[in-house]
């Protein structure tokens, strides 16, 4: 009888220790600011920050876009040729957040496109940014095919600087890219022009 009780006790201890040790070998998807399984969201869904999911990357990350916030200049300068030449600004998908940080650090306070996006808070999220050239094109492509975004059908700023310090890239949401040459709907324009601003975020 004592041997049976001892065996039962040892078995219970073994089971307890096994349960407590757990198995941490299962992969976790790091979705950047948020962590979600790859299958949590689809294009057109409402994202974790309350925007519309417009792009899903191969690495499991996604991007959501909010509403157009209004009109602003890329940089508010009295003389266009005094515009700051900001090095390191990318155009590819995945560069918009870093672009926005570089722009805000270079220009400082003010009511300009990148700062408006950096200050934006929505859906409990405060990591919104001004999209890069290619990120803005991805927003445009979704908008033109789904029509589910609350976006002004007009020109919007990207966070990508153009060929010199006086210009930056923008995209015209009113143009049909299927019938219009690329440089007539995505092109460089002077930074002191007043265009629409739309924030995005990565999750």
pLDDT tens track for 6-42:
344 433 434 333 333 333 332 223 234 555 544 589 9
The model's pTM: 0.81
Q: Would you say residue 38 lies in a domain?
A: no
Strand partners, 188: 169
pLDDT at 40: 84
DSSP H/E element including 161: strand 155-161
Cβ–Cβ under 8 Å, residues 120 and 66: yes
Q: Would you say residue 13 lies in a domain?
A: no
Cβ–Cβ under 8 Å, residues 72 and 197: yes
Can you list the residues of the chain whose pLDDT is less than 50?
Answer: 1-32, 37-38
Q: Would you say residue 20 lies in a domain?
A: no
Q: Would you say residue 43 lies in a domain?
A: no
Total number of domains in the chain:
1
pLDDT at 182: 85
Q: Would you say residue 11 lies in a domain?
A: no
pLDDT at 29: 30
pLDDT at 19: 38
pLDDT at 105: 98
Find where tokens 């409402």 sit: 46
pLDDT at 20: 39
Give the separation between CA 166 and CA 164, rounded to whole angstroms: 6
Q: Would you say residue 2 lies in a domain?
A: no
3-state secondary structure of 13: helix
Instruction: Quote the domain boundaries for residue 143.
Output: 52-202
Q: Would you say residue 76 lies in a domain?
A: yes
For 159, phi then psi, to 5°, come to: -95, 10
Q: Long-range contact list for 26-32, CB < 8 A, 24+ apart?
A: 29/60, 31/60, 31/61, 31/62, 31/203, 32/61, 32/202, 32/203
pLDDT at 158: 98
Q: Would you say residue 65 lies in a domain?
A: yes
pLDDT at 36: 53
Cβ–Cβ under 8 Å, residues 55 and 138: yes
CA 143 to chain centroid, in Å, comes to 15
pLDDT at 98: 98
pLDDT at 90: 98
CA 14 to chain centroid, in Å, comes to 48
């Amino acid at each position: 009888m004592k041997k049976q009780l001892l065996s039962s006790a040892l078995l219970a201890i073994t089971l307890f220790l096994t349960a407590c040790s757990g198995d941490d070998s299962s992969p976790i998807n790091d979705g950047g600011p948020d962590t979600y399984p790859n299958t949590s969201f689809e294009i057109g869904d409402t994202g974790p920050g309350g925007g519309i999911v417009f792009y899903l990357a191969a690495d499991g990350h996604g991007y959501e876009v909010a509403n157009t916030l209004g009109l602003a200049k890329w940089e508010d300068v009295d003389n266009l040729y005094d515009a700051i030449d900001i090095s390191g600004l990318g155009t590819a998908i995945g560069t918009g957040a870093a672009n926005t940080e570089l722009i805000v650090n270079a220009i400082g306070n003010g009511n300009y496109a990148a700062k408006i996006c950096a200050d934006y808070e929505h859906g409990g999220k405060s990591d919104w940014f001004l999209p890069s050239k290619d990120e803005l094109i991805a927003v445009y492509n979704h908008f033109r095919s789904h029509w589910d975004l609350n976006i002004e059908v007009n020109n919007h700023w990207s966070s990508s600087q153009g060929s010199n310090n006086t210009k930056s890239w923008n995209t015209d949401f009113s143009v049909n890219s299927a019938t219009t040459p690329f440089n007539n709907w995505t092109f460089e324009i002077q930074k002191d022009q007043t265009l629409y601003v739309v924030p995005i975020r990565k999750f």
